[in-house]
């Protein structure tokens, strides 16, 4: 299949590699240029989104936030300008569920299907083709896209109509943020009490408190490895979507709000480009103790 891919960052780049390895012809574009390893593998670098859409049957978008998706789709030389009836647009970025419904209807008006298909699993999941993919859109479009999703991920679910994939991803990000916060508090508590945080982490990995976040991000907190990964600024974006959605729905998400404030504190101290596991540094500041420091 001829596949277009717009947005070749931390996530998009390894996803393109997996699609090429699956035997597909890739036409790619990114505002900052196309990585040379992708063209060396046979990907065709296009000058803009319009050319990507004109050359392909299915166009995938993987850019940071709602305004970037809007620009990628609807700028003068954007994807929509190169679409013709029967093509399929798949947005795999994590963006607003409300804007997604509007983008879908604008693409539908051109005679094309639209799927929102945000992912979870991070850079490692993108590299290993083990992403969780949460899809919103028509069943027929999902069936058409499924073989492509299977080259990029493992747990692939059609959640509902357009917007429902993004809603599912916001729910995912609430759980991830609050779990990072809980792991941070637990390891900080253990360290301040004088227990070896690595031994505590290892012990807890066998029990009811075990999680991928305790395993991977708990290790990051102990090793002081805050290279992204998933940047704080992207998680702030996701929790903003959660809190704005909660306000529109008339419900309260108290711990999501608190965790967003901790991300905001990290950003205020220059940490917005660090990995989201560095949220623990806001907790450490309040505790006047760093995980792994000797007991004082
Ligand atoms: P990134 O910033 O590394 O990559 C985004 C790329 O999009 C950049 O290369 C940028 O130049 C390009 N871009 C921006 N606007 C563009 C436009 N109008 N046209 C073409 N290219 C454009 O971000 P990422 O980490 O790859 O994340 C992408 C999306 O995936 C985000 O919505 C993020 O929330 C989501 N996500 C990321 C992770 C992760 O661990 N990094 C995990 C799950 C989901």
Whether residue 8 has its Cβ less than 6 Å from ligand 1: yes
Q: Which of 37, 60, 64, 91 has the most ligand 1 atoms within 8 A of CB, as the residue to mutate?
A: 64
Quick one: what percent of the chain has pLDDT higher than 70?
A: 99
Whether residue 273 has its Cβ less than 6 Å from ligand 1: no
Q: Which of 10, 232, 237 has the most ligand 1 atoms within 8 A of CB, as the residue to mutate?
A: 10
Residue 294: pLDDT over 90? no
Helices marked H in the chain — which ranges?
A: 12-21, 36-40, 49-55, 66-74, 97-108, 122-128, 139-152, 164-192, 197-204, 212-223, 232-249, 254-268, 280-287
Q: What is the pLDDT of residue 185?
A: 98
Whether residue 69 has its Cβ less than 6 Å from ligand 1: no
pLDDT average, residue stretch 158-162: 98
Q: Kindly report the average pLDDT of the chain as a whole number.
A: 97
* Sign of the dihedral through C-alpha 44, 70, 93, 267: positive
pLDDT average, residue stretch 93-109: 97
Task: Determine how many CB atoms are found less than 10 A away from the CB of residue 100.
Answer: 26
Contact 260, 174 (CB under 8 A): no
Q: Which atom of ligand 1 is nearest to the CA of 8?
A: 9
Residue 296: pLDDT over 80? no
Task: Write the pLDDT tens digit of every residue in 184-199.
Answer: 999 999 999 999 999 9
Task: Write the pLDDT tens digit of every residue in 209-237.
Answer: 999 999 999 999 999 999 999 999 999 99
Q: For helices 212-223 and 197-204, give the axis angle rounded to 10 degrees.
A: 170
- Name the residues annotated as catalytic: 169
**Ligand 1 centroid to residue 32 C-alpha, Å:** 12
pLDDT average, residue stretch 92-100: 96
Task: Determine how many CB atoms are found less than 10 A away from the CB of residue 81.
Answer: 17
Task: Write the pLDDT tens digit of every residue in 251-275.
Answer: 999 999 999 999 999 999 999 999 9
Whether residue 15 has its Cβ less than 6 Å from ligand 1: no
Q: Which atom of ligand 1 is nearest to the CA of 63?
A: 7
């Amino acid at each position: 299949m001829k596949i277009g891919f717009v947005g070749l960052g931390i996530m998009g780049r390894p996803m393109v590699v997996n699609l090429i390895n699956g035997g597909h012809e890739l036409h790619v574009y990114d505002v900052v240029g196309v990585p040379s390893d992708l063209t060396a593998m046979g990907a065709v670098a296009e000058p803009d989104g319009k050319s990507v859409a004109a050359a392909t049957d299915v166009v995938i978008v993987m850019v940071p936030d709602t305004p970037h998706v809007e620009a990628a789709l609807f700028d003068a030389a954007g994807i929509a300008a190169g679409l013709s009836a029967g093509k399929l647009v798949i947005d795999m970025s994590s963006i607003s569920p409300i804007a997604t419904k509007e983008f879908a209807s604008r693409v539908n008006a051109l005679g094309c299907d639209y799927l929102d298909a945000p992912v979870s699993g991070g850079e490692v999941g993108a590299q290993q083709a083990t992403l969780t993919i949460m899809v919103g859109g028509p069943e027929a479009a999902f069936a058409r896209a499924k073989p492509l999703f299977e080259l990029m991920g493992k747990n692939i679910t059609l959640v509902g109509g357009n917007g429902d994939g993004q809603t599912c991803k916001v729910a995912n990000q609430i759980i991830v943020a609050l779990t990072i916060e809980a792991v941070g508090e637990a390891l900080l508590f253990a360290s301040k009490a004088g227990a070896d945080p690595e031994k505590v982490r290892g012990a807890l990995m066998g029990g009811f408190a075990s999680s991928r976040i305790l395993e991977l991000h708990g290790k990051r907190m102990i090793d002081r490895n805050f290279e992204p990964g998933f940047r704080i600024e992207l998680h702030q974006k996701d929790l903003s979507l959660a809190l704005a959605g909660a306000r529109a729905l008339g419900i309260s998400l108290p711990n999501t709000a608190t965790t967003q404030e901790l991300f905001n504190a990290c950003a205020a101290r220059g940490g917005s480009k660090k990995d989201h596991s560095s949220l623990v540094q806001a907790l450490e500041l309040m505790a006047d103790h760093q995980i792994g420091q000797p007991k004082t």
